[in-house]
A and B are shown apart, each in its own frame.
Chain A
Amino acid sequence: MLTDLLGIPPQVLFGQLLLGLINGAFYAVLSLGLAVIFGLLNIVNFSHGALYMLGAFATLALVQFFGIGYWGALVLAPLMVGALGIVIERLLLRRLVGVDHLYGLLLTFGLALVIEGTFVKLFGASGIPYAAPAALSGGVNLGFMFLPWYRAWVVLASVVVCLATWLLFERTKIGAYLRAGTENPKLLQAFGVNVPMLTTLAYGYGVALAAFAGVLAAPITQVNPLMGSNLIIVVFAVVVIGGMGSIIGAIVTGLAMGMIEGLTKVFWPEASATVIFLVMAIVLILRPAGLFGKTA
């Protein structure tokens, strides 16, 4: 075995790869949401991490206070947070049309501070524990590691949602409008399509994706007001690596970066926190537009 030659027991290698894949699933769903929003609004949604956190808190509230089970929360939490996203777009972001796109970044940064700060005040900075649904407790022994069912479910659910989004964009009429809106919103408006409505929906959908990731994360990491705050920067790097243009780019890059991070944990643990940024630097030198981006 090659791995044995390198002095790494295969169980460690496969185990970390698998954990990497799970992290990658989060990166993929989050960067996908950013890509959808960026496509139509041309802004980088800095509050993505905060909205991801809101998804986790919404799950907690739905499950623990309203008695709606995990499965109900899986659908309801993204809808609720998505609706909040629509409000944010209509009330705030809409006012920035025609202003430098950097102001959109700053506005969403301010929003992130407000949302996270409020939750820290209300719930404290330490996490609130939350158990995985009973149907997914336990796990399976894969030989090289014990895989909790819940973590397997995270990967499965993420991949399904990512593929569904991809199909929505590539195979449906709404998707065609959305893509057209990315390319040339004025022309699309001239064809009688309600572009502002489309923009609002796109923001809501992108935000709902963030919340969906939050629901999935709730039982794994503790539900914690700052859970999205550091994650989002890694996701930004993922987005830069993949290039802002493509849906499939966001998905593939997200999963791949998770695995690379997992590998780094085996071979060079000290660098595991920085490896994605290193990859970003290299990609920027070789292909400034990103792996899947259109060279501008």
Chain B
Amino acid sequence: MKTKLAYLLLLALLLVAPFLVYPVFLMKLLCFALFASAFNLILGYGGLLSFGHAAFFGGAGYFTGHALKVWGLPTELGILAGALGAALMGLAIGQLAIRRHGIYFAMITLAMAQMAYFLFVTSSFTGGENGLQGIPRGTALGLFDLQNNLTLYYFVLAICALGIGLIARTVRSPFGQVLAAIRDNENRARSLGYDIERYKLLAFVLSAGLAGLAGATKTVVFQLASLTDVHWHMSGEVVLMTLLGGLGTLAGPAVGAGVIVTLQNYLASGPLSAWVPVVLGVIFVICVLAFRRGIVGELRALIRNSF
């Protein structure tokens, strides 16, 4: 009952939010919440630290941008194309990366994402350094004009809610349970007869696809796709969001994304604008040293201890 109330409250808040806050900022927040949640699927629930998720996030942006601008697809299909492209990239990179564990996995995903970055820089369809600009927002279901920020906000809200909902379902499904079992003890899961490589790969592809969904949606919001989103700094940022919010918690990544994006936005307009990377780095160090459960994880522990 209590959780139901909380969800209703959250929904109400999200519905009125664009009347109080600049909607484009809110949409950015939502996209990153979905991105971090997708990332959490592979790190928090799969125990695999991918340092290359920017490739899926930004890559999907390019695919969607191309689909909308050059092919003239309807907005929904364009976003879907981006997510699908990201999932395919996830399949290719995942095949290679799951051959190794731990640190090697992180380094391989990082290197493969960097390779993708260079490919994006040099291919003509991405516009290289210029990026893709003037991507049309189009209409939702051919009815609602997405050029209007408010209409677009509800469209983005629906996509992100669907995406995060899918992640919540996955985590609670038998598939999610097996994934957690593999994370906690790979050998035991293997001896129970699970084909752990397939599980890991599937989780990786799903995570890549959903990260792509987030990137594709962001492209529609900002009407551009650029190298910033495929750069490895973006991969680091999403790790930070997830870590700060709380690894392996459902709400954590969204909370972490909210904090980081708000912070970036707030700092960017103040005198501290040049210090954004430093602030992020300091948060990173503090999280790792003293705060490994993240905001949601610590809160949960606090509640558990006090009752």
Contacts and interface: CB of A to CB of B under 8 A. Distances in A.
The answer on A and B forming one complex is: yes
Interface of A: 42-44, 92, 95-96, 99-103, 105-107, 109-118, 120-121, 233-234, 236-237, 239-240, 244, 270, 273-274, 277-278, 280-281, 284-285, 288
A97 to B, nearest CB: 12
Nearest to A277: B115
Q: Which A-B residue pairs are the 8 nearest by beta carbons? A: A110-B284, A113-B281, A117-B277, A277-B115, A114-B281, A117-B278, A110-B285, A237-B111
Given A101-B102, A106-B243, A110-B284, A284 B278 contact: no
B280 A113 contact: yes
A108 to B, nearest CB: 9
Contacts of B232: 233
A121 B281 contact: no
Contacts of A103: 288, 292
A270 B292 CA distance: 42
Contact of A239 (B107, B239, B274, B278): B107
A234 to B, nearest CB: 8
A117 B282 CA distance: 11
A105 B278 contact: no
B182 to A, nearest CB: 15
A92 B289 contact: yes
Contact of A99 (B121, B282, B292): B292
Contacts of B103: 42-44, 101-102, 105
B74 to A, nearest CB: 34
B100 interface: yes
B268 to A, nearest CB: 14
Nearest to A282: B96
A17 to B, nearest CB: 21
Contacts of B114: 233-234, 237, 277
Contact of A240 (B102, B108, B119): B108
A118 B243 CA distance: 23
Contacts of A284: 96, 99-100, 108
A102 B283 CA distance: 17
